[in-house]
Structure 1
Amino acid sequence: MNEGTVAATARQRRGAVGLLLAMVLLGVFPLDVLLPSFPALAEHFRRTPTDIALSISVFAVGIAFSQLLIGPLSDVIGRKCLLLAGIAVSILGAVGCLLSRDYALFLAFRVVQAAGCGCFVLSQALVQDLFDGEERDRLRILMVTAGGLFISVSPLAGTLLQSAFGWRASFWAFAALASVVLLKAGLFLPGGRPAAAGAPAHFLLTYRRVLGDFDFLGYWLISAFAFACHFSFIVISPLIFMDRLQLSAYEFSLVLLVYGAAYVLGGIVATVLSRRITPARQISAGLGLILLAGLALLCLPSGFALTPATVLVPMLICTAGTTIVRPAATSRAMDLYPEHAGTSASAGSTLVFICGGAISALISLSPADLQPTLGGCFLILGGVALGLNARINRRAAGLRHGTVAQPGRD
């Protein structure tokens, strides 16, 4: 390979990483940039802040269901055309939201935007297509870490947009960013069908196959439960910091900016652990931190008054755990069916968003205090995830010793 070819390959890989990170940004931006605008949205649509929080959960569930079709279709007709179509639909939904005057119409266009944003699930399939081995694992850690940083920075961006132009500005910003990514994907990604493309009519059978695999389902549920802990806090954080603690939108955005430090720390620890211990132990270590955060959320209210610190410190611990767990669990799940990367990514990501949306909605609507409810949720989800990880490890040991039948993974 000559120097020109090496340089071209390096540029292509940097271009691929840049596109994937942009997709991660657009995947979280519509959720988090609106958090500081909760009071303005509630006033504009004459609704309660709880109603506005529920719209975030509805958005997450909308993404989840759109992914069910996008992933399998991408295995058949290719990633590029579906990604471009999805981005275009998401822009249409965003423009509809900023023009809405009725809350029901606003929710309808949020669902349209969510349906388009479902195309960003293809980031996992593209990682599987374009990278191998340790490079693939490191990129997934980078994507989770970057996603956390974007989540932390988005509320500050939302605050600046809200104070300067009002809540509609966040939708204009999304439309502008999405237009840039649309152009980049159109220029960068190759067209054509994947090498392992199958028949469209078989996608239900493929879903049945991957979801019938205990290890595949177990790994994605572990990732989903870890995500649900993080996402539940994100959804209810305006209710705690802005409604109960009376922080301004700017103060709230600064609090979440500190939250980003946990993603950086978790990403560094995950990178180190991936080189030193097995994925199973990495998952267990991260889940241990989530359990510790749950205990802290339950115990701190009995000895301390509600302050930003008593909420934020446990959440920093939880977020570090989430950043350690998710890349390891996701990589193990995606490696099981590389020939069906789109379907695998859609099936898993749908579980992730359904769990995050449903659990966050239940917590936000809970009549009990949000802090202990969140802590109890962490303990339950972390405990179940630890049980799943232990069961998968026992099955793996059984396979090595011939006491468990090998599942069919052609």
Structure 2
Amino acid sequence: MDKGKSVVTPRQRRGAVSLLLAMVLLGVFPLDVLLPSFPALAAHFRSTPADIALSISLFAVGIAFAQVLIGPLSDVIGRKGLLLAGMSVSMLGAVGCVMTSDYALFLVFRVVQALGCGCFVLSQALVQDLFEGEERDRLRILMVTATGIFISVSPLAGTFLQATLGWRGSFWVFTALAGAVLLKAWIFLENTRPVVSGPPMSFLKAYRRVLGDFDFVGYWLISAFAFACHFSFIVISPLIFMDQLQMSAYEFSLILLVYGAAYVVGGIIATVLNRRITPGRQIITGLSLILLSGLVMLYLAAHHALAPATVLIPMLICTAGTTITRPAATSRAMGLFPENAGTSASAGSTIIFICGGLISALISLSPTNMQSTLGYSFVLLSGIALILNSRISQRARNLADNALAQPGGD
């Protein structure tokens, strides 16, 4: 196995890792830190918590469409300029959200913020550019684990910001963090891009190349379905815990603190599995845990009244599965077209956010029991993902058999 080494110096490596983790932290802010402010946002805009939840889904879809353009452009003009531009646009959108008192304008500025946040897709391209082999896999696991840590802390941070600065506090802190990331990227990054022989590939040709590959799309769909399970819970969690169970913002933040800790445990398990089993088996293990979580949630919904434990226990299982599945599937997908890392990252992240946004929106608008809807979704999504992974593995075996048979006959 190719162990792989970093293509940057130890000092540059520390700078790259800190920049990537800062981007992960910034990616949490527009979503998770805002969750405790749902009631305050609904009251301010004279709307309902469900409308505010829908704005989160809209934000995810906005990011997805922004990434469609950012990735291929970064393969041509480099990562740095686009990252700086994206940070600037996201700051503009966040400030606009603070200044408006009209819900429609708030949604517009949230979309502007989302368009700027589309530059976060470059984190995967930067991992592909700056690291090699197993170090890429370890860094991707670290990034998913860091997401869990930030998720576990962000509700408490959101509760504190809501209590001290109101719902606008999360947008002001986001703006400050975006400015810090912009400055760090300006200092650390060189405006380089992968060296590709021949003229740059056109926008549509680059997408045709990556999206025309069954394995590439399959691996990203596996990652997307795992992400959708996490994201659906995040979107509707205020509706379950604060609206239906009448929990306070502080109690809600403690619930998500436990949920985020499961990401840390999942990251540790994923790191151990990365050393001992193949990525394909990691994917199967993670998806099996998500399937199990769906079955457990359905059982608890059918036999027990809605309570924090009946939702949180299956979600802890699901989170472990998500943390194991996503890094393995992402590394498999990103390794197929390393010379088009920006396009690959954009195509994959677009698939992820569209799936996450649309599936979470459907669940949040579901007229039936949300707990049961989550359970059925987990079972369905993990089942489809397992079938996809099996199909990809079968295709790989067929190609290997054909390659062995080819010299013997034409």
TM-score (norm 2): 0.95
Whether 1:292 and 2:254 are equivalent positions in the alignment is no
- The superposition leaves residues 170-208 of structure 1 with CA deviations (integer Å, 9 ceiling, x where unpaired) of 000000001001000000001244322875671111101
When residues 404 and 119 of structure 1 are mapped into structure 2, their CA distance, relative to the original with a 3 A threshold, is farther
Counterpart for residue 3 of structure 2: none
Q: Is the 8 A contact 1:71 1:346 kept in 2?
A: yes
- Amino acid aligned to 2:295: L
In 2: Cα distance, 1:197 partner to 1:177 partner: 37
Secondary structure of 1:402's aligned partner:
helix
Whether 1:185 and 2:185 are equivalent positions in the alignment is yes
Q: Is the 8 A contact 2:54 2:364 kept in 1?
A: yes
In 1: Cα distance, 2:363 partner to 2:296 partner: 17
In 1: Cα distance, 2:76 partner to 2:151 partner: 32
Counterpart for residue 389 of structure 1: 389
In 1: Cα distance, 2:147 partner to 2:197 partner: 30
Aligned pairs for 1:11-410 (under 5 A) are 11-196=11-196, 202-402=202-402
- Once the two structures are TM-superposed, the CA of residue 149 in structure 1 deviates from its matched residue by 1.6
Where does the alignment leave 5 or more consecutive residues of structure 2 unmatched?
1-5
When residues 60 and 197 of structure 1 are mapped into structure 2, their CA distance, relative to the original with a 3 A threshold, is farther
Secondary structure of 1:323's aligned partner:
helix
Q: Is the 8 A contact 1:242 1:248 kept in 2?
A: yes
- The superposition leaves residues 327-377 of structure 1 with CA deviations (integer Å, 9 ceiling, x where unpaired) of 000000000000000000000000000000000000000000100000000
Q: Is the 8 A contact 1:87 1:119 kept in 2?
A: yes
Runs of 4+ in 1 over 4 A off after TM superposition: 197-201, 403-406
Q: Percent sequence identity over matched residues?
A: 76
- The superposition leaves residues 358-403 of structure 1 with CA deviations (integer Å, 9 ceiling, x where unpaired) of 0000000000010000000000000000000000000111111117
Q: Is the 8 A contact 1:334 1:341 kept in 2?
A: yes
- Once the two structures are TM-superposed, the CA of residue 117 in structure 1 deviates from its matched residue by 0.2
When residues 197 and 266 of structure 1 are mapped into structure 2, their CA distance, relative to the original with a 3 A threshold, is farther
In 2: Cα distance, 1:345 partner to 1:404 partner: 32
Q: Is the 8 A contact 1:75 1:198 kept in 2?
A: no
- Once the two structures are TM-superposed, the CA of residue 306 in structure 1 deviates from its matched residue by 1.1
Q: Is the 8 A contact 2:194 2:339 kept in 1?
A: no
- Amino acid aligned to 1:103: Y
When residues 403 and 195 of structure 1 are mapped into structure 2, their CA distance, relative to the original with a 3 A threshold, is closer
Secondary structure of 1:170's aligned partner:
helix
- Amino acid aligned to 2:302: S
Secondary structure of 1:101's aligned partner:
coil
Secondary structure of 2:9's aligned partner:
helix
- The superposition leaves residues 32-67 of structure 1 with CA deviations (integer Å, 9 ceiling, x where unpaired) of 111000000000000010000000000000000000
Q: Is the 8 A contact 2:97 2:110 kept in 1?
A: yes
What number of residue pairs does the alignment pair up? 400
In 1: Cα distance, 2:358 partner to 2:119 partner: 21
When residues 193 and 264 of structure 1 are mapped into structure 2, their CA distance, relative to the original with a 3 A threshold, is closer
Where does the alignment leave 5 or more consecutive residues of structure 1 unmatched?
1-5
- The superposition leaves residues 194-253 of structure 1 with CA deviations (integer Å, 9 ceiling, x where unpaired) of 322875671111101100100000000000000000000000000000000110001100
- Amino acid aligned to 1:374: L
CA RMSD of aligned residues (A): 1.6
In 2: Cα distance, 1:210 partner to 1:225 partner: 19
- Once the two structures are TM-superposed, the CA of residue 302 in structure 1 deviates from its matched residue by 2.1
- Once the two structures are TM-superposed, the CA of residue 147 in structure 1 deviates from its matched residue by 1.1
When residues 404 and 44 of structure 1 are mapped into structure 2, their CA distance, relative to the original with a 3 A threshold, is farther
In 2: Cα distance, 1:220 partner to 1:304 partner: 35
